[in-house]
Amino acid sequence: MSDTEHPAVIDAVVVGAGLAGLYQLYRLRERGARVRVLEAGDDVGGTWYWNRYPGARCDIESMAYSYSFSSELEQEWEWSERYAGQPELLRYIRHVADRFGLRRHITFGTSVTRAVYDSRTHTWTVTTDGGEEVTARFVVMATGCLSRASVPDLPGLDDYRGPVLHTGRWPHEEVDFTGRRVAVIGTGSSGIQAIPVIAGQAAEVTVFQRTPNFSFPARNRPIGRRESAERKANYAEFRAWLRATPVGIPRPLPERGALEVTAREREAAYQSAWDAGVLGGIQASFNDTLTNRQANDLAAEFVRAKIRQIVDDPETAAALCPTGFPLGTKRPCLDTDYYATFNLPHVRLVDLRRSPLVSLTERGVRTTGAEYEADAVVLATGFDAMTGALRAVDIRGRDGAALNEVWAAGPRNHLGLLTAGFPNLFTVTGPLSPSVLSNMLISIEQHVDWITDCIGHLGDHGLTEIDATVEAQDAWVRHVAELAAGTLYPEAASWYQGANIPGKPRVFMPYLGGVGAYREECDAVAAAGYRGFTLSRLPDAHPTA
């Protein structure tokens, strides 16, 4: 690793100190690169720093949703539960930062507002909200897919007198709902995790549901020492298997379609997935759930029957039954006692499809049917997913081109990694990569390894710039869209395709080819000398990284 041409120019700025940013920092430091990480929060953790709402929990098993880069770390860390809660995940991430001496390279409480590329020097100058400028050869956007909270433009939001809490921006001090009336707006993963826990504390909970979701029991439980030791004895094999699967989640790989088996076999398969408590388990019972509407309807009906079984009041059960979009095409949820919570006398469901939300008032929430008083309002209303955090930064590439303009009709890039005209600016788990349709840790490690190797390759060959070609980018954008078009995903108004944000272009953003195939493609591109990218060097430049 040699120095950049100017001592004030560092090798890389990494934006974000979540799981992606920390690993990127670790890998680049390992190569001796000079790196600054800029992080908006006051600590490491990313998603697990911000999402502190009651019940926040990962719905991929801890022993799969954790770093694999260090076998010492893997062996020494003991997870207490099958699905770790937010406090434990944050402890783990802080431990990683300390164990690998990463903190001294991180500036906290600092947001990046602007990044400008200089084609003459092949460097980016990044500006922070504190007015600082940092110049680096490479920028890695490790800003997360679900990091920009979406607060809907609800009339009367300012009139409401009580606290309004967004699940994705939860306060750091304890929020005590004891004896209070709580209104929860939103029934995605966050709401579905939070509602049973809030109901365990509050005097009254009113849930405002616009779209019911498919949710499955998580079957969370403590991990015993023996179970942990068994997994750790074969950790490398387990990780290798996960990396080759479609989504990197430990669950069986279906070989048959739902219509190729008898009704009894089908029921048994769904029941076994329901009992296993694995994210996406029901849809993964058969290989055609997300491509064949009839197969999907069978799986969806199985879940609706479960909801009707669990929920005592038939009207509430009917309102909780998801209809109108295929199972799995909106992010499925894992829960602990979600549906049963509606049997509690102090919990009620307000179906916004029947009586739409009109406004917040001084005292609570008004729908077309009634006004519901509340001492606190919880917004579990989600995120400007996948592109929100990237578009929040004013990114200017070659010739001053604005990323926001280039992406006006939806994200464009090659392999989800680099956008043509924005050289040396990488995104980790960005749009058009498997990202949110995968175990994030698998995708993060794969991206960071690829990016680090790419930066190393440039340095080893005296090169200072990598840019995607427009042809390769166009082909990749087309490929991602074609994969989505062959499935039922486009039938749902999901955040996967930006439908939750008014005015956002409807483009299906995650790559659906699976993490195994995706890794192979990325590796093949690198092995072919970064096919689809243009590599160049500045005359007289000292190579970096």
Interacting residues with ligand NA7 (CB under 6 A): 146, 152, 154, 167, 185-191, 208, 210-211, 331, 352, 357, 380-383, 495, 500
| Smallest separation (angstroms) from ligand NA7 to the CB of 369 | 14
List the structure tokens of 358. Answer: 């009109």
3-state secondary structure of 91: helix
Shortest distance (Å) from residue 107 CB to ligand NA7: 26
Residue recorded with tokens 């956002």: 504
Cβ distance 427 to 390 under 8 Å? yes
User: Which contiguous run of DSSP H or E holds residue 252?
Assistant: none
41/44 Cα distance (integer angstroms): 7
Nearest distance, CB of residue 535 and ligand NA7, angstroms: 35
CB 444 within 8 A of CB 20: yes
Which residue, 68 or 381, has its beta carbon nearer to ligand NA7?
381
Residue 185 CB, nearest distance to ligand NA7 (Å)?
Answer: 5
Sign of the torsion angle spanned by Cα atoms 512, 515, 521, 526: positive
Residue 480's nearest CA partner among 493, 468, 494, 490 is 490
Cα 212 to its chain centre, rounded Å, is: 20
- Smallest distance, Å, CB 136 to ligand NA7? 30
| Residues 22 and 70 sit within 8 Å (Cβ to Cβ) | no
Q: How far apart are CA 192 and CA 300, in angstroms?
A: 18
Per the structure block, which two tokens stand in for 49?
A: 């720093």
C-beta separation of 347 from 355 below 8 A: no
Please name which of 58, 45, 100, 55 lies closest in space to residue 76, comparing C-alpha atoms: 100
Q: What angle do CA 365, 371, 376 make, to 5 degrees?
A: 35
Q: What size, in residues, is the chain?
A: 545
- Two tokens, residue 152: 């809907």
Q: What is the DSSP code (8-state) at residue 448?
A: H
How far is Cα 347 from Cα 258, in angstroms, rounded to an integer? 36
Whose CB is nearest to ligand NA7?
Answer: 188
Q: Could you tell me how far CA 413 lies from the centroid of its own chain?
A: 19
Nearest to 203 by CA among 180, 220, 219: 180
Give me 343's structure tokens.
């049997």
